[in-house]
A and B are shown apart, each in its own frame.
Chain A
């Protein structure tokens, strides 16, 4: 009897927790959104994000966002599991391309165009390319808060002046500078090529754009109009990398150096040029002296003989926030309000304070930019952007290609034509772009 009574009490206590587990009911005026973001709020790089979240909470006290943060690959590993069980949060970090295919190609992300807010007037507030189609049918999954510029050549103008040189106009001129630079005890070019994506992201993408142009590249990616990666444009793109190695343009151990180590080599004025991405400017603002910041210019690869596009760099929209496809009514409105705030005028101005160059067209006179960020903003405004190779092509094939390029740079492996042929064979058999 005593045992039964005790069991009954335990049962009642446990079952009451199911009733109250739902938590307090939302009031009719307030909305709570769940969010999963690939951001490390403790990292200095995300100070702008932290301030945006604070200002948003103050401006919209009726919209509460419960955020879970994760960084790096850990974000994708958990999010893939969420996507597989069809339990995605209301808001989440989402890439425009294949990196988030497990949500944006499985019907879990809402097409922002369906909200009816993205009209011509809205688009005109943002830089070109912000609303380029992201899905196979022209969907817009995210508004990218900024662009990831994946090619820049930083030059130490002070050293160049000291050596009686200037930023080269052509690739041939650049190669001719190498003996002068080395004789003076400097390394010509630093580049951290240790990771299996750098050379194709920071150099090959640019050469493909210059040698073939965006139209040829998209045709080759999709196997249309007879274009393939066996074409001379692609072979030449690879050959330019080989020429750079043969001309001893890179500092020794280029394939062993991490990005950070290559940057340090440049910052310590051991090299004259640094091949890196546009986002390096935010680190330069904090790590370089004022004198060095004034001495560093931001350029693109010099003119290549026979190039079809000129003075270009490459960029891809940065990751943004996607909305769950199942969201509707008040929650959907709240989610859009957050995205519009984050990417629009207010969020862009906050991020600009911390060195981010926004996709939103900010009035440069109203925003005080740091030295290097000012150079970056000017860089984006004065150079047309081509595609980043690995943001279009499937990752597995690009990794294989990058390994072949690294092996070629080590003086081993195959030549440009064989590398191109191997890549084309892989793309034809496996790349999903060929089935579009």
Chain B
């Protein structure tokens, strides 16, 4: 007979390898990063402990301030753009309100299967000064000097990136919502229709409450993904021109790997972690509040 103690020992023994890997790959680097964030490095050599100077300089740096704002814009597009749009598309496909829903499902899902680097190169090819769109407009308007100037504007340079992100990632949420919509029994919709419920009532009283958990999870994914956006921005603009499209992950990469400011870069990574945890905790509190209201 195996007693409780033996059982517990075997659980710990089986968990131990994964736990060791988790500590060494996740926890240990975070602790070391935290320690490094209070140090100064110069020319690949540790200079010494400098307290909170890195954090103060980061928060005062206009490039980092712009990067945070750019990440907020990405987050807003993700939470307010990708998730609602994904939900609408999923609902349209689920209710079969469009003919050829399988075809549209595939076409909408296609962008997420393509590598972000390829997506960036494709969009650059279209809108660059030697791209398809630019050449077409030059021909049509007989203006050889036409270029898409939005990416040269400090105010609007992020818009092309936000559009591409919306185009690429909406499908991920569409698929998640579609899968969860299919879990709602058809009989619930039929009963609602028989009772004379309007479409808006079905959406607000049946669909949204049923999907509230998924919406919250998707929001958490969107927030954490937005704060670590890197690949598309790096491939599309490299953060330029003039850091107009820089994001926090790109700023971290530049400081750490290009300039070898390891302490400074570590401080940026800690700020990103703190922001992620803070925003996800806030989202959790709002969700809990909304849940209590519906109960």
Chain A contacts for B44, CB-based, 8 A: 80, 83, 101-102, 105-106
Asked whether any CB of chain B lies closer than 8 Å to the CB of A269, the reply is no
Further contacts, 17 of them, CB under 8 A, given A105-B44, A106-B44, A252-B129 = A76-B257, A83-B44, A185-B144, A194-B240, A196-B238, A196-B239, A252-B144, A252-B145, A252-B147, A256-B129, A257-B129, A258-B124, A395-B259, A407-B241, A410-B242, A412-B242, A432-B42
What interface size band does chain B fall in? 20 to 34
Between-chain CB contacts (< 8 Å), 23 pairs? A80-B260, A101-B44, A101-B260, A106-B45, A194-B238, A195-B238, A196-B239, A196-B240, A252-B147, A255-B241, A256-B128, A256-B151, A256-B152, A261-B128, A264-B130, A265-B130, A395-B258, A396-B261, A399-B258, A399-B259, A403-B240, A413-B242, A432-B42
**Which of B147, B148, B239, B241 gathers most chain A CB within 10 Å?**
B241
Count residues of A near B (Cβ-Cβ below 8 Å): 37
Give Cα A274 to B252, complex, Å.
Answer: 34
A255 CB contacts on chain B under 8 angstroms = 152, 241
Cβ B152 vs Cβ A252 within 8 A: no
The docked-state distance in angstroms from the alpha carbon of A7 to that of B27 is 33
Q: Once the chains are docked, how many angstroms separate the CA of A432 from the CA of B240?
A: 26
Contacts of A77 on B, CB cut-off 8 Å? 257
Question: A251 in the interface, Cβ–Cβ < 8 Å?
Answer: yes
Enumerate chain B residues within 8 angstroms of A253, measured Cβ to Cβ: 128-129, 134, 147-148
**What is the CB-to-nearest-CB distance from B262 to chain A, in angstroms, rounded to a whole number?**
10
Main secondary structure of the interface of B (DSSP, over half): loop
- Say if the beta carbon of B43 comes within 8 Å of chain A: yes
How far, in Å, is A220 (CB) from chain B's closest CB?
A: 20
**Shortest Cβ gap from B65 to chain A (Å):** 15
When A and B form their complex, what is the total count of cross-chain residue pairs whose Cβ atoms lie within 8 Å? Answer: 84
CB distance from B158 to the nearest CB of A (A): 15
The verdict on B243 contacting chain A, using a C-beta distance below 8 Å, is yes
Taking the closest CB of chain B, its distance from the CB of A251, in whole angstroms, is 7
Contact A101 B43 (CB under 8 A): yes
A76 CB contacts on chain B under 8 angstroms: 257
Confirm or deny: A406 has a beta carbon within 8 angstroms of a beta carbon on chain B. Answer: yes
Report the separation of the CA atoms of residues A198 and B258 in the bound assembly, to the nearest whole angstrom: 16
B154 within 8 Å of A (CB atoms): yes
Closest-by-CB residue of A relative to B144 is: A185
Counting from the closest, the 3 A-B pairs by CB-CB distance are A253-B129, A253-B147, A102-B44
Check if B146 is an interface residue, CB within 8 A of chain A: yes
Per-residue interface assignment for chain B, residues 229 to 256, with 1 indicating a CB less than 8 Å from any chain A CB and 0 otherwise: 0000000001111110000000000100
In the bound complex, CA of A257 to CA of B127 (Å): 11
Residues of chain A within 8 A (CB-CB) of B124 are: 258
Q: A194-B241, A256-B129, A410-B242 known; A73 and B257 CB under 8 Å? A: yes
8 Å CB contacts to A: which residues of B27-80?
42-45
Binary contact track A353-390/B, C-beta < 8 Å → 1, others 0: 00000000000000000000000000000000000000
* Complex alpha-carbon distance, A221 and B238, angstroms: 28
Contacts of B261 in A (CB 8 A): 396
A376 to B145, CA, bound (A): 32
> With a CB–CB cut-off of 8 A, which chain B residues contact A102?
43-44, 260
Q: Which of A251-291 contact B (CB under 8 A)?
A: 251-258, 261, 264-265
In the bound complex, what is the Cα–Cα distance between A225 and B152 (angstroms)? 40
A178 CB, nearest partner CB in chain B, Å:
13
Alpha-carbon separation in the docked complex, A403 to B61 (Å): 14
- B242 and A257 contact, CB distance less than 8 A: no
| Contact status of A412 and B128, CB under 8 A, knowing A106-B45, A403-B242 | no
What is the bound-complex CA distance between A195 and B242, given in angstroms? 10
Bound Cα distance from A254 to B147, whole angstroms: 10
Contact A256–B258 (Cβ < 8 Å): no
Which of B130, B134, B238 has most A Cβ within 10 Å? Answer: B130
Q: How far apart sit A118 and B147, CA to CA, in the bound complex (Å)? A: 54
